[in-house]
Chain A
Amino acid sequence: MEKIKVEHVTKVFGKNIGSALKLVEQKKSKTEILNQTGATIGVYDATFTVNEGEIFVIMGLSGSGKSTLIRLLNRLIDPTSGNIYIDGQNISKVNKHELRKIRREKMSMVFQNFGLFPHRTILQNTEYGLEVRGVPKEERRLKAEKALDNAGLLPYKDQYPSQLSGGMQQRVGLARALANDPDILLMDEAFSALDPLIRKEMQDELLDLQQRVKKTIVFITHDLNEALRIGDRIALMKDGQIIQIGTGEEILTNPANDYVRSFTEDVDRSKVLTVENAMIRPVTINVEVDGPKVALQLMREEKVSVALAIDKQRNFKGYITASDALAASKRGEMSLKEIIRTDMQTVPPDMLIQDVLGIISDSPTPIAVVKEGKLLGVLIRGVVIETLSSSNGNGGGNNE
């Protein structure tokens, strides 16, 4: 279900807004427009939807307009043109009073530098949203304490933000947002100010949390690895425009243009590519029909020493080695059933390559990719490594 719908939203800062918009239509760059009109393009013609319960990541370098875009969603910045719908309600048209109501009840924001009020204790910070809503003191205290307890921060409730580490401060920021029980969480570079280890921890916590609470999350980041790790879908921005929207997989394997490609090049590919991207077509032999002689002939043709054994329904049975087939053939056997080896590792197709690397380096044989018993392909060490190092994302050859 659509939770947020953004339609042709544009934000121009400064004067000469009209002439700046014309220049955008002529595909002039941001700097050219700034030089000619003095206006800065924040966001140009952004259109996308965010589904309920989804983590939608907006990603781009600094100056790409991503921070402006997230602020348009709760109207900390008013759009120059276009419409933004939250649950079908056009928030670019609502009056101040209704806007406050939406901000209080529907969406909470988490900030890059935490946005905690230094003169308030952790508890007072956490209950801020409830306080401005007019929730009675006892009730808001209970809710805030519960939110802090969930984040493991209850012992710190009477301290001031400056007494906490960055990671803990951001947990407070998140607890403050959740105490409000909003449908939508807006997270503006929420983890960017944290050091890498803490950041990874927070990403895990966010994913765990999402499992439990199922909020709709719009997450801003400049870090593609972070985007790929937590995003269900990712929108890539450049110079105020959305260049590509898709799952991490789609963006990596089919970059919309050179800009996206250059962005994705430095990604640690092992963290995003799945087994499906690296598996190759297996040499198979049907053990219900074929005998040792056919198997030997096939392996000679394909120049392999191992063939995967399947039945008529393509169910994975194991594998046959060339030497076993040769021996069986010399013994005059007609069936392969006696020489099927079953000690081959299998993995599902949606497993991350990162996680396969350990298995593959320990395994003497290739690894079968099996889904619901059916053989889909095979992983060979050389091809997996080639996939990881390839720059166009299609490496690894024929996917079946």
Chain B
Amino acid sequence: MNKMLDVIPALPVADWIENLMDFLTENFANLFTFLQKAGQNSMDAFTNLLMLIPPIIFILLVAVIAFFATKKKFGLAAFVIIGLIFIYNQQLWEQLMSTVTLVVFASIIAIIIGIPIGILMSKSTIAENIIKPILDFMQTMPGFVYLIPAVAFFGIGMVPGVFASVIFALPPTVRFTNLGIRQVPKELVEAADSYGSTGWQKLIKLELPLAKSTIMAGINQTVLLSLSMVVIASMIGAPGLGRDVLSALQRAQVGNGFVAGISLVIFAIIIDRLTQSLNKKKY
């Protein structure tokens, strides 16, 4: 039986992809170099800026934001203070700041790309049918695989880390934007149309405001996914807390591994709760 299957010679799919990558790296070398340089510089600047803020001020600032974002409840604010002091205490402050930079850049880029794609998807069923399988592909492909083209395009460091994170973290924002806009009640869309709204007016005045909480749920997912990818990206030289986890793994240091891991968990909980609390209804 296997003979029948062997009639088809092994397809050089891997070679094809390699060739495509070679083609891209050779022909767009300038673009990639530019992006690498610009990205690296702006991220360095951002990290340095964060490092300029004295940790105590930084901690208090985040605690105050948490306090007001959670409708003046003390829970999250207290957690922020204790958690961040713990990270500082474990000498992981600089790594935390690098991780913050990576997550902020990856999330913002993913949101900037993701929301318009989501809007496009919601407006056109053809676009939805094309984009949906691509999103499925992006989400099910193991995150590590994205590290390879990232290195090919951008070498090692922060920029390839952000590149891989954006690809990995993009889908929820796109999906939830699409869903949120499609969920706007038909009668309201008809009302907007019947008063002669243009497509833009309808989007800005009705659909995006009503889809906001759904989109925010997607953004929350994107932020958390980009954090998880940022950790993996330490394998290609992205700095941050992930690098400590990785080096602990390589040297079998259970204690150090857990300390860095717990720091990541603290950070994850803070950004999760903060992004969720931005998502309140006022009506």
Instruction: Give A contacts to B, CB under 8 Å.
Output: 71, 74, 76, 100-105, 107-109, 111-113, 115-119, 128-129, 131-133, 160, 162, 180, 186
Do A132 and B193 touch (CB < 8 A)?
no
Within 8 A of A (CB), among B234-283: 282-283
The SS class assigned to the A binding surface is mixed
Q: Which of B196, B206, B210 has the most CB of A within 10 A?
A: B196
In the assembled complex, the CB of A121 is this many whole angstroms from the nearest CB of chain B, namely 9
> A109-B195, A119-B210 are known contacts; what are 12 more A-B pairs with Cβ within 8 Å?
A100-B197, A100-B198, A103-B193, A104-B195, A113-B187, A116-B191, A117-B191, A118-B283, A129-B195, A132-B192, A132-B198, A162-B283
In the assembled complex, the CB of B74 is this many whole angstroms from the nearest CB of chain A, namely 30
Instruction: Give B contacts to A, CB under 8 Å.
Output: 187-188, 190-198, 201, 205-206, 209-210, 282-283
**Once bound together, how far apart are the Cα atoms of A105 and B283, in whole Å?**
30
Q: List, in ascending order, chain B residues with CB within 8 A of A160's CB.
A: 283
**Once bound together, how far apart are the Cα atoms of A162 and B206, in whole Å?**
16
In the assembled complex, the CB of A130 is this many whole angstroms from the nearest CB of chain B, namely 9
Do A103 and B194 touch (CB < 8 A)?
yes
Question: 8 smallest A-B Cβ distances: which pairs?
Answer: A104-B196, A115-B191, A103-B196, A109-B194, A129-B195, A160-B283, A100-B196, A119-B209
Q: List, in ascending order, chain B residues with CB within 8 A of A117's CB.
A: 188, 191-192, 205-206, 210
In the assembled complex, the CB of B132 is this many whole angstroms from the nearest CB of chain A, namely 23
In the assembled complex, the CB of B84 is this many whole angstroms from the nearest CB of chain A, namely 35
A-B contact pairs, 13 of them (CB 8 A): A71-B190, A74-B194, A76-B193, A109-B190, A115-B187, A117-B206, A118-B210, A118-B283, A128-B195, A132-B192, A132-B195, A132-B201, A160-B283
| Given known contacts A117-B188, A162-B283, A129 and B196 CB-to-CB distance under 8 angstroms | yes
In the assembled complex, the CB of B214 is this many whole angstroms from the nearest CB of chain A, namely 13
Q: List, in ascending order, chain B residues with CB within 8 A of A108's CB.
A: 194-195
Q: List, in ascending order, chain B residues with CB within 8 A of A101's CB.
A: 196
**Once bound together, how far apart are the Cα atoms of A141 and B210, in whole Å?**
23
In the assembled complex, the CB of B126 is this many whole angstroms from the nearest CB of chain A, namely 17
Do A133 and B191 touch (CB < 8 A)?
no
Q: Smallest CB-CB separation from A129: which chain B residue?
A: B195
Q: List, in ascending order, chain A residues with CB within 8 A of B192's CB.
A: 117, 128, 132
